[in-house]
Amino acid sequence: MSTPETALKIKIFGSPALREKAKPVARVADEHRLSLSQMAQLMYSSSGIGLAAPQIGVAEAMIVVDIGSGLYKVINPRIVKRRGRQSNQEGCLSVPGVCIKVRRAKRVTVKGLDENAKPVTIDAEDLLACVFQHEIDHLKGKLIIDYASLLGKLKIKRKLQELKAKSEHEELPQSETKSCPLQL
Ligand code: NI
């Protein structure tokens, strides 16, 4: 059943949903199209450039991406080709207030399905490639903090404890989401 728009919230670090592995969608249905449009709305209203289904508590392989050049809604996305290297300071809507330098492929080819179950192939580079890799990580239960160095992990330890305590009380520290230019 559909969830009222107002009830939709981005899961914050500490929520077990963020560490779950998303299941592949076996048959694309209206519920998936609804989730994808809700995800897009939430991404835009949070000034994000990507969002994955586990971030709204849906453990299915779906992502939305828009870096300003158009909206991608991709079901069962997988990376079939990686080339080159890039690194960016990444933020995550589910880990507000934290910025981590993440090394990723510079170019990727992503295959998956669109919301009408048609196969799609996307060749992405630079920022777009970075966002696809970040969102596909979410489907594996992987977060930017997993890329932090040992020292980096120590530095954000207190912040993560704070977030965990807040997520248990369902408070979204919105004031902190702007700490990193890239919110994915
Ligand atoms: Ni994220």
Please tell me the distance between residue 19's alpha carbon and the centre of ligand 1 in angstroms. 12
Residue 171 clears pLDDT 80, i.e. is over it: no
Q: How far apart are CA 53 and CA 79, in angstroms?
A: 17
Please tell me the distance between residue 130's alpha carbon and the centre of ligand 1 in angstroms. 11
pLDDT of residue 29: 98
pLDDT of residue 127: 98
Contact 144, 90 (CB under 8 A): yes
Please tell me the distance between residue 54's alpha carbon and the centre of ligand 1 in angstroms. 10
Q: Is 135 a catalytic residue?
A: yes
pLDDT of residue 170: 66
Q: Convert the pLDDT of each residue in 46-68 to its tens digit.
A: 999 999 999 999 999 999 999 99
Q: How far apart are CA 92 and CA 147, in angstroms?
A: 13
Please tell me the distance between residue 96's alpha carbon and the centre of ligand 1 in angstroms. 10
Please tell me the distance between residue 143's alpha carbon and the centre of ligand 1 in angstroms. 7
Please tell me the distance between residue 104's alpha carbon and the centre of ligand 1 in angstroms. 14
pTM to 2 decimals? Answer: 0.92
CA angle 140, 130, 165 (to 5 degrees): 55
Nearest to 115 by CA among 50, 51, 64: 64
AA letter at 141 = G
Residue 1 clears pLDDT 60, i.e. is over it: no
The superfamily (CATH) of domain 4-170 is Peptide deformylase (3.90.45.10)
CA angle 32, 38, 44 (to 5 degrees): 135
Q: How far apart are CA 33 and CA 13, in angstroms?
A: 26
Q: How far apart are CA 49 and CA 42, in angstroms?
A: 10
Residue 101 clears pLDDT 70, i.e. is over it: yes
Question: Exposed, middle or buried by CB within 10 Å (0-12, 13-18, 19+), for 86?
Answer: middle
Average pLDDT over residues 112-133: 98
Q: How far apart are CA 128 and CA 3, in angstroms?
A: 29
Q: Convert the pLDDT of each residue in 30-45 to its tens digit.
A: 999 999 999 999 999 9
pLDDT of residue 130: 98
DSSP letter assigned to residue 116 = T
Residues, CB-to-ion distance under 5 Å, ligand 1: 92, 184
Residue 33: which residues within 8 A CB-CB, separation 6 or more? Answer: 115
Contact 40, 115 (CB under 8 A): no
CA 25 to chain centre: 17
Out of 60, 90, 115, 135, pick the active-site residue: 135
Residue 179 — pLDDT band, cuts 50, 70, 90? confident
